[in-house]
Structure 1
Amino acid sequence: MNESLLKEHIKKYNEKFNSSPEIVSEDLLEQDKRIKYYRSWTKDKILEMTREDLYEFFSKLWAMVIWGNKKYAVDKIIDGNGIDKLKSRIAEFLWSERDIEKRWDKFRKDMKGFGPAIMSELLCHFHPDKYIIWNSKTLTGLNYLGLDDLPKYNYQLDGKKYKEICQIEQKIAEFLERGSELKDVNLLTVNYFIWDELQIKTAVETDTPEDDEELAKITEEDKRGFVHDEIKEKLAEIGEWLGFKTYTETRVASGSVVDTVWESTVGNMGRIIYVFEVQTKGSIDSLSMNLLKSLNNPAVQGVIAVSDPKQLEKIKKNVADISTLENKLKFWNYTEVLDNHERLARVNESINKLGLVPEGF
């Protein structure tokens, strides 16, 4: 970490504190309010939550700003996991004293609809002295400080890496407390500092051939399914933002259960369906056969294989002699899916902040 650069920005932040104390005071009051709200949910109270409680609980998160209709997004989380399982796992995740590395990975594996942004924000609001909020702004800020091996994509942020980043931000908190007039600095305070002062882009967003090679290696070793599940869920979210109804792990034809489906109804034409299969490991023959079977549903107008460049080439060769698939099968690189998701999320967040659409519309 470039400590000289950090100290330089802490000095600027301190000058802002002195010149506009009301702005910093508002931030501190907001932090305190959010922490008090979330910490009021004890383990027992979480287990007694109603559906309405869960809606309020999740809708207050910054990670939910990308959704214009937050109720729809929260309903998907509740229905995707089951309300009793959801409450039980959240209570365990937030209040257990087990090592965060193991808790993080178990929760990621067991629960649907949760990415690092929601998970880390909840942890930070419940335990601001221990845990940080991870999102694209945090990545930008830490990358600017010269930190290496930061997770560009969600699947790269496992429990071990999250724990490491929390320890890094603990060091930033120490610098911030020594170099500024802020008192009782916690990791939520550090996040505010990073988001306000360190949003200077670097080459972190530039893809290189080495990135593709690394991605291919990661997908082949996707033992916990984090890559597969992240792509599957983000394909669904992209479809939702584009106006489609979306489903994951759904049956579209006899013998064909696919990862993600986009569905639309067009006037008298009826349903139009697009099918996505994510390939991280396993048999390419099975993927090809699954997509071929999906075409038995006359509503399926297109099938898309999603993988890294290396595996996409293998899939193209595999289906070259299957005329039915060759004409309808499209190919989508993982990194393009992830980058498009990030860009659409930013667009949605910006528009939703305008408040043009009434909540729940």
Structure 2
Amino acid sequence: MNISKLDNAIKNFLEKKETNKIYYEEKWNERKERKEFYQTFTKEKLLTISKETFLEYIGKLWSMLIWGNKQYVVNKLIEDNGFDKLKEELVELLYGKTSLEKRWNSFLKSVKGLGPASMSELLTYVNPQEYVIFNKTTILCFTYLDIPNMPKYNYQYTGKKYVDICNIAKKISKELKKIGEQDYDLLAVDYFLWDEVLPYVESKENRQTSKKVIEPKTISNLESISLHDEIKEKIETIGKLLGFESSSEVKITTGAIVDVVWEARIGNMGKAIYVFEVQSKGSIDSLILNLKKAQSNPAVQAVVAVSDESQLSKIIKESTGVIEEKSLRTWDIEDVVNVHDSLVRAHESINKLSLVPESF
């Protein structure tokens, strides 16, 4: 960790606290209220929670800010996992006796729809002395503080990595405690990162610095499968955030199930369809074949091959004469990740304005 950067950020944080007490107290009290709300849920209460209360329980998470219709998101969560199983898995994650690493990995494997950001946020509220929020902001801020080996893709957000992240956050907490009497738990560390360190991350100077990227072509077969699923989920989410009817694993025509489909209905005239196929490693033959078959559907306006730069070059070359060139698009995986993260941040910011009533 770059102690100089950390000390400078803490110094500025302390000055802000003294010169803008109202702002600081308002933001800190919001965190205290969230912590108090989630700590009213015991293991027994969570196991017997109703669907209506569960909607509030999940809907209040910061990680849910990107969604205007939280009812839809929670219904899908229950549908995909089963309500009883979902509650049991949450209880094990939050209150289980096995190691944090095992509980984390088990939950990620067993539950669909709640990722590292939501998992860590719940853990932080339940026990802010031990757990910190583990999301894109955390990673960006830790990277700015020159903490190495920060994850880029979701498959790298392992239980072992989360334990490491919590240990680093505890070191930051100790430094923060030196500046005052406030109990700087790991929820306070998150506030410090968000309010003071993130602006440095987003500064023009810092954005211009190069970042080390783990290229998809260097990963293992198992990691490739995980990356494929992650990019597929991000494309599906991007479509939803843009207002499309977005779905994954869709049968687009006879013999062709494609990774993601965006649909836009045009009044009562029909719909326009955009098809996406993701390639993270290996042969590109099946991708080209699926995109070719998708083109036989007259509603398909464009087919999009998604991969890394080297693979996209091969796809363009090998699809010549097979796929209609005018309807083939390519999308770099790095761009998908950046677009997803930017859209998420934009929706979080807009939804914080509460321009429309909360749609639970």
TM-score, with length taken from structure 2: 0.89
Match of 2:41 in 1: 41
Q: 1:204 to 1:108 in 2, by over 3 A?
A: farther
Match of 2:218 in 1: 217
Whole-angstrom CA distance in 1 between matches of 2:107 and 2:333: 23
Alpha-carbon offset, residue 222 of structure 1: 4.0
Q: Aligned ranges for residues 18-29 of structure 1 at < 5 Å?
A: 18-29=18-29
Deviations 1:133-180, CA, capped at 9 Å, x for gaps: 123332333223222222244343222222211111111111111x21
Q: 1:122 to 1:224 in 2, by over 3 A?
A: farther
Q: 1:122 to 1:206 in 2, by over 3 A?
A: farther
Match of 1:160 in 2: 160
Whole-angstrom CA distance in 2 between matches of 1:326 and 1:353: 42
Q: 1:120 to 1:239 in 2, by over 3 A?
A: same
The answer as to whether partners of 2:217 and 2:281 remain within 8 angstroms in 1 is no
Q: 1:209 to 1:182 in 2, by over 3 A?
A: closer
Match of 2:125 in 1: 125
Letter in 2 for 1:186: D
Match of 2:280 in 1: 280
Whole-angstrom CA distance in 1 between matches of 2:105 and 2:164: 14
The answer as to whether partners of 1:43 and 1:95 remain within 8 angstroms in 2 is yes
| Structure 1 range deviating more: 99-108 or 227-236 | 99-108
Match of 1:32 in 2: 32
| Counterpart secondary structure, 1:109 | helix
Match of 2:314 in 1: 314
Alpha-carbon offset, residue 204 of structure 1: 6.8
Whole-angstrom CA distance in 1 between matches of 2:308 and 2:135: 24
Match of 2:291 in 1: 291
Match of 1:256 in 2: 256
1:187 aligns with 2:192: no
Match of 2:338 in 1: 339
Whole-angstrom CA distance in 1 between matches of 2:263 and 2:302: 11
| Counterpart secondary structure, 2:280 | coil
Letter in 2 for 1:281: K
| Counterpart secondary structure, 2:142 | helix
Q: Aligned ranges for residues 63-212 of structure 1 at < 5 Å?
A: 63-177=63-177, 179-199=178-198, 200-201=200-201, 211=213
Deviations 1:97-126, CA, capped at 9 Å, x for gaps: 222223323322333222322122112112
| Counterpart secondary structure, 1:225 | helix
Alpha-carbon offset, residue 315 of structure 1: 2.1
Match of 2:327 in 1: 328
Whole-angstrom CA distance in 2 between matches of 1:318 and 1:92: 49
Match of 1:356 in 2: 355
The answer as to whether partners of 2:240 and 2:246 remain within 8 angstroms in 1 is yes
| Structure 1 range deviating more: 165-174 or 65-74 | 65-74
The answer as to whether partners of 2:224 and 2:281 remain within 8 angstroms in 1 is no
Q: 1:205 to 1:247 in 2, by over 3 A?
A: farther
Alpha-carbon offset, residue 21 of structure 1: 4.6
| Counterpart secondary structure, 1:263 | strand
Q: 1:81 to 1:43 in 2, by over 3 A?
A: same
Alpha-carbon offset, residue 262 of structure 1: 0.7
| Structure 1 range deviating more: 198-207 or 148-157 | 198-207
Q: 1:80 to 1:207 in 2, by over 3 A?
A: farther
Whole-angstrom CA distance in 2 between matches of 1:224 and 1:119: 23
| Structure 1 range deviating more: 280-289 or 168-177 | 280-289
Letter in 1 for 2:335: E
Letter in 1 for 2:225: G
| Counterpart secondary structure, 1:223 | helix
Whole-angstrom CA distance in 1 between matches of 2:60 and 2:338: 26
Q: 1:9 to 1:158 in 2, by over 3 A?
A: same
Whole-angstrom CA distance in 1 between matches of 2:176 and 2:347: 32
| Counterpart secondary structure, 1:305 | strand
The answer as to whether partners of 2:169 and 2:186 remain within 8 angstroms in 1 is yes
Alpha-carbon offset, residue 76 of structure 1: 2.8
| Structure 1 range deviating more: 289-298 or 351-360 | 289-298
Q: 1:234 to 1:328 in 2, by over 3 A?
A: same
Q: 1:242 to 1:161 in 2, by over 3 A?
A: same
| Counterpart secondary structure, 2:103 | helix
TM-score, with length taken from structure 1: 0.89
Q: 1:210 to 1:173 in 2, by over 3 A?
A: closer
| Counterpart secondary structure, 2:246 | strand
Whole-angstrom CA distance in 1 between matches of 2:283 and 2:51: 41
| Structure 1 range deviating more: 159-168 or 142-151 | 142-151
Whole-angstrom CA distance in 1 between matches of 2:317 and 2:211: 21
Structure 1: gaps spanning 5 or more residues: none
Whole-angstrom CA distance in 2 between matches of 1:263 and 1:134: 33
Aligned-pair Cα RMSD in Å: 2.6
Letter in 2 for 1:61: L
